[in-house]
Amino acid sequence: MTIRRLLAVFLAFAAMLAAQPQPRPIKRPPNNQLAIEGSDTHTGRIESPASVTGITSQLVFHVSPLIAKGMLSQQVEDAIKAIDKANGAATILKLRAFVAGTGDLRRVQSIVNDFFTDRKWPLPVVTTVQAGGFPLEGAQVVIEAVSEEKKVMNPNGLMLVPAVEGTTGAAAINALAGAMGSSASNALRVTCFADSMAEAEAARKAAVTTFPKAAGVYLQSTRYTMGSHVSCEGIAQNGPVRSAKLLFAAPQLGFGEDAKGALDRLDHELEPLAAKRANSVLIDIYATSLAAAKTTKTLAGPSPSTAVFIEGLPALDATIQVEVMIPID
């Protein structure tokens, strides 16, 4: 092949390469990290909010039905769909998920985040607690939701009652009704933690007649039947909480015997929000031992609080979890 022909072939090949579309360069931010919108810059993980607020007079409360079919991820999604259907146009602000069975409760947060992100819904604050069991075989999760309606639902405020105790389910429900007083007929939500499934069911039956309008959760706190003790907390219309808004802070964990550490972490998260734990209208404390529950309740101070002994928490080595509701004017 002559030099002239070789040169012609080379020029033709170069022209063909020039005609091919060239990849566009990737523009990186100054820190050289590719950002994913709505996620943690370094890990790509979707971050949950540290807190949410809702207009007190517009808050509504729902509980998902117990579902026996499917694995944990499917049951969580089905529970949220049921809550969304009951909500109508209301926006979900806060979820409290009780998980039982063999499902990994640490996955609940990511399942919720993915579900809400796919639908372009604002992410709620999520609390996850491991319970001992539910009265339906195969049910792995039940979820409570606090949502904000577009209209006034509670014109005369709310009453948030920390857990009261009874030696039986019926006694605990009667004690809760007594604590609510005249607001008992307007109860919106009841949550009962029982030492046995039998007393959880007894609490449910008593609540059906005592609080006919209330959504309810009735569970066995740990896998082991320990007696007949029951603790029930509730929310009702017509009460002293009449602030413009309620703040729901993300729960904080404690490890070992460090109950003070969990409370300190909560205070640290509240500081930039100009909110103080001392102003809480309800503090919920979940602990993996009775001693830790009592110690944390004492350290939490005089604010109304529920302290319960439960099966487990989202971190395997966590022993305490604390969350609060704080009025914001």
pLDDT of residue 58: 98
Phi, psi of 138, deg, nearest 5:
95, -15
pLDDT tens column, 289-301: 999 999 999 999 9
Domain 258-324 in CATH 3.40.50.20? The answer is no
Q: Do domains 158-240 and 258-324 have the same CATH topology?
A: yes
Which helix H or strand E contains 249, and what residues bound it? Answer: strand 245-249
DSSP 144-213: EEEEE-SS-S-TT-EEEEEEEEESSHHHHHHHHHHHHGGGGGGEEEEEEEESSHHHHHHHHHHHHHHSTT
- pLDDT tens-digit readout, 145-180: 999 999 999 999 999 999 999 999 999 999 999 999
User: Which residues have CB under 8 Å from 44's CB, separation 6+?
Assistant: 36
- The ranges assigned to domains in the chain are 48-154+243-250, 158-240, 258-324
CATH number of 158-240: 3.30.1330
What is the band of 45 on the pLDDT scale with cuts at 50, 70, 90? low
For residue 305, the surrounding DSSP H or E stretch is strand 305-309
pLDDT digits (tens, 9 = 90+) for 230-266: 999 999 999 999 999 999 999 999 998 889 999 999 9
Topology of the domain covering 48-154+243-250: 60s Ribosomal Protein L30; Chain: A; (3.30.1330)
Could you tell me the pLDDT band of residue 228, with boundaries at 50, 70 and 90?
confident
Could you give the dihedral angle defined by the CA atoms of residues 235, 241, 244 and 245, in that order, rounded to the nearest 10 degrees? -40
